[in-house]
Amino acid sequence: MLDIKNVTISKKEDNRLLVKDFNFTLNQGDKAVIIGEEGNGKSTLLKFIYDKNLIDTYCDYSGQILGGSKLGYLEQEMGEKWLNSSVTDFLSELDIYSCSDPNIWTMNIDASLFSSNQLMKTLSGGEKVKIRLIKLLAEEPDVLLMDEPTNDLDISTLEWLEDFINHSKCPVLFVSHDEAMIENTANVIIHLEQVKRKTEPKYTIVYMGYEEYVEKRLSGLQKQEMVARKQREDYKKQMQRWQQIYNKVDNRQDTISRGNPAGGRLLKKKMKNLLSQEKRIEKKAEEFTEIPDVEEAILFGFPNDVRIPKGKKVLEYSVDALKISKDGAEAVLAENIFLRVTGPEHVAIMGDNGIGKTTFLHGIAKELLERKDIKAGYMPQHYEELLDYNRFPVDFLVTSGQKEDITKAFTYMGGMKFTREEMEHKIGDLSGGQKAKLILLKLILEGCNVLILDEPTRNLSPLSNPVIRGVLSDYNGTIISVTHDRKYMEEVASTIYELTKTGLKKVKGD
């Protein structure tokens, strides 16, 4: 259906290779996911497949897309033109009722929207995705390309999207960070990596489910690391033995009498053989198996002494009504909300799109950040609320200017897989995943014992996400978070609430 041949893509700005000699064929029945860290070229590759012109301004490329298939593309973000258009105008070029794909009518959306003058930007995340998919299906493509379709979707819409992908009559190629959706839909895994401290691109294509891929990958990496470390250990012992012999021969050369020229020649010959042996050992070392350099090899964690006493009252927060301005009028999203949190609870709040979760969490953050009896830290959903994109990462992490604090910040960034180049670039140049990690590092370095997190895992790769979840699960402080991440709710949250129009409903916890 879709042949991708010998694709190589590099960034114009720094000549960094994102993809090298990439080959892949998407066949009927394939539900293929592209995974990898932010900045590894996933969205760029998807854009290249759909329309090379989309990456002209920032990439050089070569390769071919063959097969003659009609492609439908769901971009990660809508352009300003369509966001400011009405739903009617957005759909006006197509007759959605003549579409032959039955999936178009499974979307559980109010049909009155199709002729609505409501602006696209005022729709919930789920409504936007569904309207855009309706438009795509009405175009009757042969192949569906989707870039991060799960962003900003609530649980019910995520589950609907999984069913949509599984029952699509078209093969699907999509980019995603959502582990649960990948596990529930993908039968082909395309993993884009940047190895050797992000200097060399690598890709892996396997025809299996995600859980099987992760298991086999982990087993392979463990074996690779064992072989690599054994080779280095043997090399170290071999060089130690060589050095001992060399020192003896060198010492005898220094002390041998001039009256023993035969002995001198013998030692000189032996030294020559030793030097040749050293070259052979060094040459062999160049062929050693590499120690794995992978995105999940993250080294960070909160200190054990960062904690909240059990039973301490962290929060009692009530809101009579959550309101927003909509179309010039004030709209009530939810009413009669009350949340009590004690230490060291890990609270997750979920709910439908547009119900006011972020507004609610922002109010909580405002109250807790002013408290003196706790040290609270806040990760907003939109990082620009906290980060100055014109500053450098170390300037955000360190305010004291002291050398030891700066050294510590660089060490922690290294543990979070920041390269030296990323450490020295402006924050605005970092990927979404690296910005998220930067904020998490700030919370660690400041010793925060209360974390207020809005969608903390949304920009992290599916392979590094389990490490982050593990750290948060082991955290001895209190967490108050908004999330749609089902893995996060399962592994990190001790208490889960659903925010509804009539208040908070507890769905997990005592």
Element (H, E) at 355: none
Per-residue pLDDT, 492: 96
Per-residue pLDDT, 259: 65
Closest CA to 193 of 378, 19, 26, 373: 19
**Residue pLDDT, tens place only, 73-89:** 999 878 788 888 998 99
Paired strand residues for 206: 189
Judge: domain 313-508, CATH 3.30.950.10.
no
Per-residue pLDDT, 327: 59
Per-residue pLDDT, 323: 81
Record: fold of 2-195: Rossmann fold (3.40.50)
| Residues in the chain with pLDDT values less than 50 | none
Per-residue pLDDT, 258: 62
Q: Is 333 exposed, middle or buried (0-12, 13-18, 19+ CB in 10 A)?
A: buried
- Residue 268 backbone zone (phi > 0: left; psi -120 to 50: alpha; other: beta): alpha
To the question of pTM greater than 0.95 for the whole model, the response is no
Please, what is the end-to-end C-alpha distance for the chain in angstroms?
A: 52
**Residue pLDDT, tens place only, 249-269:** 888 877 775 667 777 788 788
